[in-house]
Structure 1
Amino acid sequence: MTQHESRPDPFDTHGTPFPDALVPPDRMPAIRTAHDLERTWCLLMGELGFAAPQLWLLLILDGRPGPIMKLEVPLRPHEDDLESLPGAIAEIVAVAPGAEAAFLYARPGGAMRTPADLAWARVLADLSPWPVHLANDLELRVATLDDLGATG
């Protein structure tokens, strides 16, 4: 879990300096681990705080951050989202052969995990080999296996 005030560790597990500000995509550090992905989300989001629920999709190409999409979404996924999202993501990923999708669901509000957070995490977890991240106005965290299995 990354608190609002915290900064990523300045060095990744491979000894490569991790920037403390957004840099051009070709200078972004590689994403090899879940920790690398979390720090990448921190850089991309900047300061926490969201006006509306958002779904972020990051394509990871050859271990490097690629294109990013940010969409405003409903607070809780609708039945249409459950049916259409897998096909839409597959189409996006197919544009970049070998790419993998990583997801972040962000919403306004406090740190308490909500049923809507869990609903989005469950939908997205099946669409990516990377852990789903959840963010709100106070923290960024990984959706754990316990989260994905929780009811609510």
Structure 2
Amino acid sequence: MTDEIPPLLPPDQMPPLADQAALDHTWRALMGRLGFATPQLWVLLVDGDQPRQVIEVADVPSDPRPEEVDRMRVLVEQARECGLSCAFLYARPGGATRTAGDLTWARGLAALDQRWPVHLANDLELRVAAPDDLAA
């Protein structure tokens, strides 16, 4: 993945999410430069393959309990009622080494909406949560 930051457009004016590279590109544009003061969760509401709205949840726990991840289930259910799907990105300060919290977020969010792969970001990288990350 390139370090170039794509131009920021309103989500509904971004290119369709035709493939994994397009979703990576969209997250990179929405986040801007990597570097985070606190753990945060980003939710991209998607209509078919078109991004529609982004929700940023600041100051989430870095090591969530199951009920904290499960709170996102309500959002996913409401999105589905409106014909939307949810793409997730968990971001936190620090280096690239995967933490237990990264994996808890990735596994929990992946179980909520499997249409889009969960992404993980830290101060050094943005990447998709790999199958090895999601395996219990």
Greater than 6 Å deviation, 4+ residue runs? none
Task: Verify: 1:7 aligned to 2:4, yes or no.
Answer: yes
1:3-152 to 2 correspondences below 5 Å: 6-7=3-4, 20-72=6-58, 73-91=60-78, 93-94=79-80, 97-128=82-113, 129-149=115-135
1:78 to partner: Cα distance? 1.6
- Paired with 2:24 and 2:111, the residues of 1 have a C-alpha distance of 19
- CA deviation string 1:39-58 (max 9, x = no partner): 10000000001010001000
Q: Which runs of 5+ in 2 are unaligned?
A: none
- Paired with 2:10 and 2:135, the residues of 1 have a C-alpha distance of 37
1:131 to partner: Cα distance? 0.3
Q: From the CA coordinates, give the structure whose radius of gyration is larger.
A: 1
1:88 to partner: Cα distance? 3.5
- Paired with 2:65 and 2:12, the residues of 1 have a C-alpha distance of 36
- The 1:88–1:65 alpha-carbon spacing in structure 2 relative to 1, beyond 3 Å, is closer
**Equivalences, count:** 134
Q: Which amino acid aligns with 2:99?
A: T
TM-score by length of 1: 0.80
Identical-residue share of aligned pairs (%): 49
1:87 to partner: Cα distance? 2.6
1:28 to partner: Cα distance? 1.2
1:34 to partner: Cα distance? 1.6
- Paired with 1:25 and 1:149, the residues of 2 have a C-alpha distance of 31
Please give the root-mean-square deviation of Cα atoms over the aligned residues, in Å.
1.8
SS of match in other structure, 2:107 = helix
- The 1:89–1:136 alpha-carbon spacing in structure 2 relative to 1, beyond 3 Å, is same
Q: Which runs of 5+ in 1 are unaligned?
A: 9-19
